Chains A and B, each alone.
Chain A
Amino acid sequence: MSEIKKFRLTCIVCPLGCTVEVTMEGDRITGVEGFTCPRGKDYAIQEIREPKRIVMSVVKVRGGRFPTVAVKSDRPVPKELIPAIMKKLAEVEVEAPVSVGQVIVENVLGTGANIVATREA
């Protein structure tokens, strides 16, 4: 039999912040408890397998009203790739005009997520 481990997580999906406990036997998840709604269960499983987050930042703009435009990933990306994505975004420079929702970087670092603008420039 493999070792039983318990992990306590705080669900970050909504402001309630439930404490969710995940039980693992080896690398198998055998129990999830403490969530108030199904999103909390999904979150906890995802967080144990491969934690993901939305990335947000600003990138440089030429010829806009402000020197930056705000951006985010249009879906969560693996947490461990975030520093690499931030590095990539620091090199990006776009040309004004930029509209909200415009794709700035397609399929960033092969994650399947696009970096999109969240502010006009």
Chain B
Amino acid sequence: MRSEYDVIVIGGGPAGLAAAIKAKELGLNVLLIENREFLGGIPLQCVHPGFGIHYFKEDLTGTEFIHRIIERFRALDVEYYTNAHVLEVVPYSYRHKILRIVTEEGLFEVAARTVVYAAGARERHMFEIGITGHRVAGIYTAGEAQTMMDIYGVMPGKEIVIVGSGDVGLIMARRFTLEGAKVKAVIELMPYPGGLTRNVVQCLEDFGIPLYLSHAVTRVEGKKRVERVIVTKVDEKLRPIPGTEESIECDTVVLAAGLVPYLKVIEKAGVEIDPATRGPVVNSYLETSVPGIFVAGNALVINDLVDYVVEQGEEAAMGAYEFVKNGGLPALKWRKLVKGRNIRLAVPHYLADTKDVTIYARVGEPEENVRLRFPEIGKEIRLPFVRPSEMIRVKLKKEEIARAKDRITMEVVRDE
């Protein structure tokens, strides 16, 4: 390790690898730090296809997708450490950050002019979704179960109940079934499935796995290991309806109840957080409110497509490059991106007319035949449908951004 780098990338998943590759290509000296014993992040444990359709124009498995990225990373000879954990990022001065890193050889303090934070997301656990009962063996998050099964080759259980019908829950239901486990049910709180219809079809219907909509797992019971779960119907306000309890025998509960950007490492540095994304507030260079700390991937906003994650990694690296080259980002006139009708979240939060910007957003409610409208700059896009489970990605050109004074509203309007 040197004592100072232009950029230190935290996290060796798709966002971090893409950022490190781009930064190296731009001529910066780069260090990448990865927590686990291998590079690759989540895709390395995803054996199903559905990755890279936009980025590589091919439908790859997660493992194939990340293999291609890792090959590029290796070819550039980027310095990196695995089994290394970043404990803290201290904003020592405007132009310097100090990182405290634990590796197998001990604790190091390393300086960086910029940081790209790409530590991904953490999975929501049972206490966060209101499940009570016994703390017994046999309760896993989807990511834990996936790592056990698809990296270490150990089945998490024989009779499984999955909590959450987002794409992660659906895909895991298919994996468990193919590997010989019995998925007794997938339980979904909302009245509609969280994931794509194609995944309901090819992951549940293909195997006859029951999907309980408008139901919650309210209790887990068992002595040493899970023996059953209690599921309860919920009303329109998502409150359990007394008297509708039903018991499902199983030995394993897998929680696929959503992801939250993992910010522990940079929270203390004082980055401002957006309550809607639960990730940092960023400008169009993906810089957080702490100058020189950039963020990308699931640590910025929960993405459903790895393609966008890689794109954000590259964007953050370009931001870091501007910062290193100019000793900080220039003072710019920022336009605030304002969430209008049916926009639940949107990043980046502040836009400047110095470059084209890609906006990633999600709606609150599903709608059909709508227009996505930016009234201040007179831009409108027709969309056949919008759904909370599918991220909207839209580019604004710098000339378009320049038309706005201090705010740019983004809204979904119905066709008359």
CB-based contact A70/B47 at 8 Å? yes
Asked if B61 is an interface residue, CB under 8 A from chain A, the answer is yes
A118 located at the interface, meaning its Cβ lies under 8 Å from any Cβ of chain B in the complex: yes
Interface mask (A8-38 → B, CB under 8 Å = 1, otherwise 0) = 0011111101000000000000000000000
Let me know if A82 and B198 touch, CB within 8 A: no
Q: Report yes or no: A12 in contact with B151, Cβ–Cβ below 8 A.
A: no
Expressed in whole angstroms, the Cα–Cα distance for A120 and B201 within the complex equals 30
Is the CB of B180 closer than 8 A to any CB of chain A? yes
Q: Which of B67, B152, B178 contacts A66 (CB 8 A)?
A: B152
In the complex, which of the residues A12, A57, A79, A120 has the most CB atoms of chain B within 10 Å of its own CB atom?
A12
In-complex Cβ contact of A72 among B61, B149, B206 (8 A): B61
Asked if B245 CB lies within 8 Å of chain A CBs, one says no
Q: Is the CB of B152 within 8 A of A57?
A: no
Which of A15, A60, A67, A70 has a CB less than 8 Å from the CB of B198?
Answer: A15
Q: Give the residues in chain B near A55, CB-CB below 8 Å.
A: 178
B contacts with A, residue count (CB < 8 A): 25
Range, interface on chain A = 20 to 34
Give residues of chain A (40-97) contacting chain B, Cβ–Cβ below 8 Å: 53-58, 60, 65-68, 70-72, 79, 82, 86, 90
A119 within 8 A of partner (CB): yes
Q: Which of A13, A58, A60, A90 interacts with B149 by CB under 8 Å?
A: A58
The smallest beta-carbon distance between B346 and chain A, in angstroms, is: 20
Which residues does chain B contribute within 8 Å of A56, judged by CB atoms?
47-49, 61, 178
A54 shortest CB reach to chain B, Å? 6
Shortest distance between the CB of B257 and any CB in chain A (Å): 22
> Does A4 count as interface, using CB distance less than 8 angstroms?
no
Whether, in the assembled complex, B153 has its beta carbon less than 8 Å from a beta carbon of chain A, the answer is yes
Of all chain B residues, which has the CB nearest A12?
A: B198
Q: Inside 8 A of A100's CB, which chain B residues have their CB? A: 63-64, 67
Verify if B247 is at the interface (C-beta below 8 Å from A).
no
Q: For window 43-96 of chain B, which residues contact chain A by CB distance below 8 Å?
A: 44, 47-49, 61, 63-64, 67
A58 contact set on B, CB distance < 8 A:
47, 149-150, 153
* Smallest CB separation, B366 vs chain A (Å): 12
Cα A90 to Cα B149 with chains together (Å):
13
Q: Which B residue's beta carbon lies closest to that of A116?
A: B64
Of the residues B64, B178, B198, contact of A57 by C-beta under 8 Å:
B178
Contact of A60 among B38, B150, B153 (CB under 8 A): B153
B48 touches A119 (CB 8 A): no
Minimum CB–CB distance from A52 to chain B (whole Å) comes to: 11
A69, B107: Cα distance in complex, Å: 33
Q: Is the CB of A118 within 8 A of B153?
A: no
- Verify if B369 is at the interface (C-beta below 8 Å from A): no
- In the bound complex, what is the Cα–Cα distance between A82 and B64 (angstroms)? 21
Residues in A whose Cβ lies below 8 Å from that of B151: 66, 68
A12–B64 Cα gap in the complex (Å)? Answer: 21
Q: Interface readout for B178-205 with A: 1 if CB under 8 Å, 0 if not?
A: 1110000000000000001110111000
Residues of A within 8 A of B153 (CB): 58, 60, 66-68
Taking A53-B202, A67-B152, A79-B206 as contacts, is the C-beta distance between A10 and B197 under 8 angstroms?
yes
B307 an interface residue at 8 Å Cβ cutoff? Answer: no
Known: A58-B47, A67-B152, A118-B63. 14 other contacts (CB 8 A): A10-B198, A10-B201, A12-B201, A15-B390, A17-B197, A17-B201, A56-B47, A56-B61, A57-B179, A58-B153, A68-B151, A68-B153, A71-B47, A118-B67
Q: List 29 A-B contacts (CB under 8 A).
A: A10-B197, A10-B198, A10-B201, A12-B198, A15-B196, A17-B196, A17-B201, A54-B49, A56-B48, A56-B61, A57-B47, A57-B178, A57-B179, A60-B153, A65-B38, A66-B152, A66-B153, A67-B152, A67-B153, A68-B152, A68-B153, A71-B47, A72-B49, A79-B206, A86-B178, A86-B179, A86-B180, A100-B63, A120-B67
Interfacial residues, chain B to chain A (CB-CB below 8 A): 38, 44, 47-49, 61, 63-64, 67, 149-153, 178-180, 196-198, 200-202, 206, 390
